[in-house]
Amino acid sequence: MKPRKTQSPKSLRADARSALESCAGWNARQAARRITQFIEQRMGGAGVSFAQFGLMAEIASAADDTITALAHRMGLDQSTLSRTLRTLESVGLVEIAVAEGDQRKRMVWLTETGARRLEAALLSWRQAHAELGKLLSPDLARRLALEAEKL
């Protein structure tokens, strides 16, 4: 049996660096992390996390209020989404109920408290987003998200 040829550490380092620099997935994750951290720092006093803000905005903006449709729009599996929704439900920001006529469907909507909290968070988000817009193209992330829909 022939001994396996191994890559030199110097070559492996260069190949790994090249992979990181050119990998769309890795770069998108890094960018998303940094943008999220930036916004979260500025929305700290909004009373909801940035993830909760996004979920509540998805609920408020949706024509279809089923958990299935919400999970599809957000690219999440229903069990992950349900856990997050239960957290919001436990603090009175959303309500979840079984749909009339179809026991398999569950519906979700913001409570009055949730709607008020989202309105307040939108003020913080607008300020954070305006500040972000001075550093990055406002349309850059949206264009990336739309392009990624092709996948």
Which two tokens mark 131? 């500040």
The reply to whether 18 falls in a domain is: yes
Per-residue pLDDT for 1 more than 70?
no
Q: Evaluate whether 61 touches 69 at the Cβ level (below 8 Å).
A: no
Instruction: Return the CATH number at 127.
Output: 1.10.10.10
pLDDT at 120: 94
**SS3 call for 99:** strand
The reply to whether 5 falls in a domain is: no
Q: Which tens digits make up the pLDDT trace of 32-91?
A: 999 999 999 999 999 899 999 999 999 999 887 889 899 998 989 988 898 889 999 999
Cα Rg, the chain, nearest whole Å: 21
pLDDT at 3: 66
The reply to whether 44 falls in a domain is: yes
Domain count along the chain: 1
Which two tokens mark 25? 């997935």
The reply to whether 1 falls in a domain is: no
Q: Evaluate whether 104 touches 114 at the Cβ level (below 8 Å).
A: no
pLDDT at 109: 93
The reply to whether 128 falls in a domain is: yes
The reply to whether 99 falls in a domain is: yes
